[in-house]
Amino acid sequence: MNKNKISYLLLMMSVLLMSSCLKNQDDVFEKSASIRSMEYLDNARKVLTSAENGWVMNYYPDNLQGIGGFSYVLKFTDSQVSAYFVNGDYDSSSQPIAETSTYSMTNEDGPCISFDTYNKYLHYYATPSAGEYEAKGGDFIFIIMNISEDKNTITLKGNRSGNEIVLYRNQTTPAQYITECKKVIDGQLYETFVKDDVTMELDLETQQASITIGEETKSTAYVLTNKGLKLYKTITIGQRTFDSFTYDASKNTYTTDDSEASVLVGKLPDGWRSYEDLAGKYYVGTAENAHICTITANGDGSSYTIKNLDDAVEGTVTAYYKYTKGSFVISPQSMGMFNNTYYVWLIAVGDNAMAWDPNIQFKGKNSATTPLTITFAGGEYNELWTYAFTDNPPTGDGRAGYLTQFESPFTLVRVE
């Protein structure tokens, strides 16, 4: 065989081998990426609609989980979703009312569930307002990260927040699950739970949990469920790992889910006072020139009227009792007029920021000693001011100037 024939045969063999390799490669990806994506979304829709009682969603709107989690049950048809929300509407018999809207399965940054028409429950934390142009950081588009093999859990990721959101196949009716969650929420009478060397501290407003064993403390957000509470992230301290706790409303206890099953007993904080016991006269601050204000219980078991909080302003301030703390909270609010010209507001001030959102809370913490001293903390805000505005409700453009900057931290000291 001459050299030309050998070269030709070698060339033909390499072409055949290449064709064979390409055919094998085609066998691996017999379908295009778009077809595979459509099939995945179709399968996800089938799983979603297969749950007769819907899916429990423990939803965390803020990317830092700063306001905790919230309980939903979602029931899907091929094109619609009915949402049951623990903070939603209830009928006259205290049954939760569902809100129904459409959804779609899309492929954006991956396979997604998109709640694409307005639903006042599902869009609650994602709808901007005049005071919150970014809303509360919530999502209405969720990337599908995983569907479990048994098809009982679906792991999602918020497209905006990046939070992990897990759907659990609901084992009761949607209404029953939400009603049971509401009972757990309404039954929270303590924020401190203790057993031996284990202490759990809850912040019921921001839904943050801190667990301490010995000298070590770890914290994360949580959601109140129909059984108790579930942590956003598993906490491990030493040899113990915590993920959820079962609540017993009759005993005010939480039982840990680890092998030791510790029963943590509710405990009122040191310095706790009853609603009536907080009424009286107080020095505003501890400076030598501190003036006296008067706190009067309004008789409803929940509110007080504070007179002369700022002795330059004639208006009053309303404060609200918190049983779990045995103290009360003060929030930004209107205080009346100054010189018949300006609208006076009690406002919150933090690092280079001032706010008059009534939802901001300065929470009181009582001393365990006498005279009773109540110290107020406002989270990211550390000061209270009285401030004059030319408009009411106030706007940034209507700021006229401050009247009083109360010393920080803000304290009230009982006049004995």
Each residue's pLDDT tens digit, 384-410: 999 999 999 999 999 999 999 998 999
The CA-atom distances, in angstroms, between 353 and each of 31, 75, 123 are 55, 42, 27
Residue 134's pLDDT is what? 78
Residue 69 above 70 pLDDT? yes
Burial of residue 369, with CB atoms counted within 10 A of its CB: 0-12 exposed, 13-18 middle, 19 or more buried:
exposed
Give the chain's length.
416
Torsion angle of C-alpha atoms 334, 337, 342, 344, degrees rounded to 10: -30
Residue 279 above 90 pLDDT? yes
Residue 129's pLDDT is what? 74
Mean pLDDT of 63-84: 96
Residue of higher predicted confidence among 409 and 287: 409
Which range among 5-14, 46-55, 304-313, 345-354 shows the weakest confidence by mean pLDDT? 5-14
Residue 44 above 60 pLDDT? yes
Residue 5's pLDDT is what? 47
Residue of higher predicted confidence among 288 and 48: 48
Banded pLDDT at 356 (limits 50, 70, 90) = very high
- Running DSSP on this structure, what letter comes out for residue 366? E
Residue 35's pLDDT is what? 80
Contact 316, 335 (CB under 8 A): yes
Mean pLDDT of 290-312: 96
DSSP line for 339-365:
TTTEEEEEEEEETTEEE--TT--EEEE
Residue 12's pLDDT is what? 47
Mean pLDDT of 279-294: 91
Residue 200 above 80 pLDDT? yes
Determine what percent of the chain is predicted with pLDDT higher than 70: 92
Contact 84, 72 (CB under 8 A): yes
The CA-atom distances, in angstroms, between 61 and each of 124, 203, 212, 230, 368 are 10, 17, 26, 16, 37
Banded pLDDT at 213 (limits 50, 70, 90) = very high
Element (H, E) at 175: helix 174-186
Residue 152 above 50 pLDDT? yes
Banded pLDDT at 30 (limits 50, 70, 90) = low
55-58: long-range pairs with CB below 8 Å, 24+: 55/154, 55/167, 55/168, 55/169, 55/170, 56/167, 56/168, 56/169, 56/170, 56/177, 56/225, 57/165, 57/166, 57/167, 58/165, 58/166, 58/168, 58/223, 58/225, 58/230
Residue 89's pLDDT is what? 97
At 184 the three-state DSSP class reads helix
The average confidence (pLDDT) of the chain is 91
Neighbours of 416 (CB within 10 A): 8
Q: How far is residue 357's CA from residue 330's CA, in Å, rounded to a whole number?
A: 12
Residue 26 above 60 pLDDT? no
- φ, ψ of residue 40 in degrees (nearest 5): -65, -45
Residue 130's pLDDT is what? 64
Which residue type occupies 102?
T
Residue 209 above 50 pLDDT? yes
Mean pLDDT of 131-140: 82
Q: How far is residue 195's CA from residue 200's CA, in Å, rounded to a whole number?
A: 9
Mean pLDDT of 318-339: 95
Residue 55 above 80 pLDDT? yes
Banded pLDDT at 380 (limits 50, 70, 90) = confident
Q: How far is residue 330's CA from residue 403's CA, in Å, rounded to a whole number?
A: 18
- pTM of the shown model: 0.79
Name beta bridge partners: 328. 321
Residue 21 above 90 pLDDT? no
Residue 176's pLDDT is what? 98
Which residue type occupies 165?
I
Q: How do residues 167-197 score in pLDDT, each as one tens digit? A: 999 999 999 999 999 999 999 999 999 999 9
DSSP line for 119-147:
-TTTTTTT---SS-TTTTS--SEEEEEEE
